[in-house]
Amino acid sequence: MKKLLAILFITTAMNVYGQTNDKMREFDPNFAHTVYFWFKNPDSQEDRKAFETSLQKFLDNSAYAKTCFIGKPPKASRDVVDGSFTYSLIVTFESAEAQQKYQDEPPHKLFIEESSDLWSKVIVYDSMTTQK
């Protein structure tokens, strides 16, 4: 049930944030890579634009990312919601091996080179399916 709810949440969130079907790849529940970014200057529109441009270029050129969701924190309505980050990224992969290849591919390394000066903190949560 938790897995189904997570898949429904991610699918809904992807659609809400306007990703088009022609750019959307099939969601792969085998491996999820969730990244949270905290910017040095979170109110800088210039930094946000540079980050979004670099991130989208990277994701458009990734050979391994199946689906992706780029998000910003909403206004929290509950105490358990952490809205302190500037951006979140959720990317799915067919396997842990594919995710490792994604880490090593040139578009990913270029994104880090172009954008790492913008953030002060990054936290990554990787998850593998419990269902086989």
Q: pLDDT band for 25, please (50, 70, 90 cuts).
A: low
| Distance, CA of 9 to CA of 104 (rounded, Å) | 29
The residues, any chain, with a CB within 8 Å of residue 110's CB and separated by 6 or more, are 54, 58
Q: pLDDT band for 27, please (50, 70, 90 cuts).
A: low
State pLDDT tens for residues 44-67.
Answer: 999 999 999 999 999 999 999 887
> What's the fold here for domain 37-73+84-132?
Alpha-Beta Plaits (3.30.70)
Determine if the pTM surpasses 0.85.
Answer: no
A 10 A CB-CB count for 90 gives 19
State pLDDT tens for residues 61-104.
Answer: 999 988 788 999 988 778 888 899 999 999 999 889 999 999 99
Q: pLDDT band for 110, please (50, 70, 90 cuts).
A: very high
Q: Can you give the pLDDT at residue 7?
A: 43
Domain coordinates in residue numbering, the chain: 37-73+84-132
Q: Can you give the pLDDT at residue 37?
A: 98
Is the pLDDT score of 124 beyond 90? yes
What is the strand order of the sheet 31-39 is part of? 67-71, 87-93, 31-39, 119-128
- Half-sphere exposure of 131 toward its Cβ, with a 13 Å CA cutoff? 8
